[in-house]
A and B are shown apart, each in its own frame.
Chain A
Amino acid sequence: ETGVTQTPRHLVMGMTNKKSLKCEQHLGHNAMYWYKQSAKKPLELMFVYSLEERVENNSVPSRFSPECPNSSHLFLHLHTLQPEDSALYLCASSRGLAGDRYTGELFFGEGSRLTVL
């Protein structure tokens, strides 16, 4: 199994739909992250979980709602999105706790390409 698995790989949704992105890590890591990647922009951190506790929420609109039921799974619930939310959403994990020396050594999934019509 790959280290970090994201599903679905591609998602098209209307502005009134509700959908969820799923991430699962098989590395035994303790920290998990959601990033947004848009063309010509730096990777943008959205949420950080450390031992299932949210430790960072980077002023993300409430139409994005994260959930971390255990240290291996991370979800991003989407509702009432806007076309500008179309992007590649990347999940990552790191060993140790968020903010420690391993924080920079992230293991990314392949991403979920989201298109909002």
Chain B
Amino acid sequence: EDQVTQSPEALRLQEGESSSLNCSYTVSGLRGLFWYRQDPGKGPEFLFTLYSAGEEKEKERLKATLTKKESFLHITAPKPEDSATYLCAVLGTGANNLFFGTGTRLTVIP
């Protein structure tokens, strides 16, 4: 059965303090790993797709990386506006839909 585990559950950072969020996954044939950002009271917003181990994607202060067992979302010099819940999801072979993790709630303190 597909499984996605995100850690930590919550993370508090000072503004400018870089860190990483982890997404460990088990899936029968990875077709894609996806990162989303969700602000309170809103729907998730798509950030990145990673298809194969070794792949990296960047957007502003965020960089996502992928290995055969996990993905990291690196946040460099975060700002308060980066505060949100970050969700990881996988799409397995033959699946019609994503399997989501429970997310990491990031708070960046000015």
Contacts and interface: CB of A to CB of B under 8 A. Distances in A.
Interface residues of A, number: 26
Given A110-B41, A110-B43, A111-B42, A104 B100 contact: no
Residue of B4, B43, B45, B102 with most chain A CB atoms under a 10 A cut-off: B43
B87 A99 contact: no
Among A42, A104, A106, A108, the most chain B Cβ lie within 10 Å of the Cβ of A104
Main secondary structure of the interface of B (DSSP, over half): strand
6 contacts: A48-B97, A55-B96, A104-B91, A108-B43, A109-B43, A110-B41
B95 interface: yes
Given A90-B43, A104-B34, A105-B34, A45 B49 contact: no
Given A103-B91, A105-B49, A42 B100 contact: yes
A103 B42 CA distance: 20
